[in-house]
Amino acid sequence: MYSQAKVIAGGLAHIPVVIAVFYFILTTFNKRALKFVEETKTKKTEEKAVEPKKVTVSKTEAPKTEAPKTEAPKVVKKKHADVPVNIYRPKTPYEGTVIENYSLLKEGAIGRVNHITFDLKDSDPFLNYIEGQSIGIMPAGEDANGKPHKLRLYSIASTRHGDDFNGNTVSLCVRQLQYEKDGETINGVCSTYLCDIKPGDKVKITGPVGKEMLLPDEEDSNIVMLATGTGIAPMRAYLRRMFEPTEKEKNKWNFKGKAWLFMGAPKSANLLYEEDLQRYLTDNPDNFKYTKAISREQQNTKGGRMYIQDRVLESANELFNMIEDEKTHIYLCGLKGMEPGIDEAMTKAAEEKGLNWAELRPQLKKAGRWHVETY
């Protein structure tokens, strides 16, 4: 028989066991709860980092990510999360007013290439953009099926501050597409529409779009540019950002690297923005190099038309010395047809330095240093 004292003593003896079980349950639950909170937090942070964000900036001040000035550029491609995209879409485009539309060509040039500027000041939300992006243009009228024309993309040729530095315009560099078919001259729909519009006309604009052709933040980066024809458009914006005095005052981006433009045009009269480029050369001899390939006036070593890839080969050593520097970015813009030629030239140029272009190009791409926009 148990005495009352024995029962009490037995009960007391179980207390440590009960406490231990209780403690075990509590700590296990706490650990799990903590783990869950941590996991949720990490997931949210990751989502935030990749989420493309619309940036609304004042009309004169631009979105600027502060770059560490002393650090070397990171080899890993940036996500450009805060670059403005698709502020205006095809269903609700912005109607911009044409400010100016003039020919960029000289007497004797081939075809039609115009510089066209649109007013953005009435856009709400404000249509801001950065150098290297494109906008969409929706030509007036309807296609053969009675449907509104689809938009066409055009590289932006102005800096975010615009040609007048007030931050409320956007400019394009447009070549009229023309080709012969069955003995008839066909004019491209949108390029003809753009080359023909007059100051005061309203034009449907979408965008901005594109993160492929953005400039690096680092002021000591080197920028190699390979352009044919209107492929100069984004390069014009880069070069203005680097060398145009009033633009530099606005952007506070003190470019200290080397910029090298390879420009392909059929004739000297077709060279675009030539006066500005010559001025940048005179003012910045140590930071700017300008190499032209004038296909119908100059010959390559084989007696054929001189293309930018021929110029690349001529400069193979110097160019690859630059490419080996991880601060160097290469931008290719213009005719799609130039890509195989450029690849071939880069392959030969790399071989001369004992490098393998087929291996190097994907590495440059992965590092966000090889930028291509051809059409």
**How far is Cα 165 from Cα 36, in angstroms, rounded to an integer?**
51
- Is 307 near ligand A2P (CB under 6 A)? yes
DSSP state of 192: H
Q: Omega before 208 cis (within 30°)?
A: yes
Tokens encoding 132: 């290297």
- Is 262 near ligand A2P (CB under 6 A)? no
End-to-end CA, the chain = 99
- Is 337 near ligand A2P (CB under 6 A)? yes
> Considering just the CA atoms, what is the radius of gyration of the chain in Å?
29
Identify the three-state secondary structure at position 256.
Answer: coil
Is the CB of 71 or the CB of 180 nearer to ligand FAD? 180
Query: Taking CB positions, which residue lies at the least distance from ligand A2P?
Result: 229
Contact 228, 308 (CB under 8 A): yes
- Is 270 near ligand A2P (CB under 6 A)? yes
Is the CB of 137 or the CB of 322 nearer to ligand FAD? 137
**How far is Cα 276 from Cα 21, in angstroms, rounded to an integer?**
81
Instruction: Tell me the number of residues near ligand A2P by CB under 6 A.
Output: 17
The values of phi and psi at residue 54, to 5°, are -80, 135
Say how far residue 146 (Cα) sits from the centre of its chain: 34
What's the min distance (Å) between Cβ of 114 and ligand A2P?
12
- Is 296 near ligand A2P (CB under 6 A)? yes
Is the CB of 330 or the CB of 338 nearer to ligand A2P? 338
What's the min distance (Å) between Cβ of 143 and ligand FAD?
9
What's the min distance (Å) between Cβ of 53 and ligand FAD?
22
Residues 128-147 that bind ligand FAD (CB under 6 A): 134
Please tell me the number of Cα atoms within 13 Å of 118 on its side-chain side. Answer: 27
The values of phi and psi at residue 14, to 5°, are -80, -15
Is the CB of 316 or the CB of 372 nearer to ligand FAD? 372
Contact window for ligand FAD (CB under 6 A) among 185-193, 198-206, 303-311, 319-327: 185-193
Of 191, 251, 295, 328, the one binding ligand FAD (CB under 6 A) is 191
Is the CB of 57 or the CB of 153 nearer to ligand FAD? 153
Q: What residues are labeled active site?
A: 154-155, 333, 373, 375
Of 188, 281, 291, 353, the one binding ligand FAD (CB under 6 A) is 188
What's the min distance (Å) between Cβ of 46 and ligand FAD?
29
Residues 6+ positions from 135 with CB-CB distance below 8 Å: 127, 129, 153, 154, 156, 170, 172, 205, 206, 207, 208, 209
- Is 335 near ligand FAD (CB under 6 A)? no
**How far is Cα 274 from Cα 109, in angstroms, rounded to an integer?**
13
Say how far residue 192 (Cα) sits from the centre of its chain: 25
> For binding to ligand A2P (CB under 6 A), which residues are involved?
175, 228-229, 264-266, 270, 295-296, 305, 307-309, 335, 337-338, 341
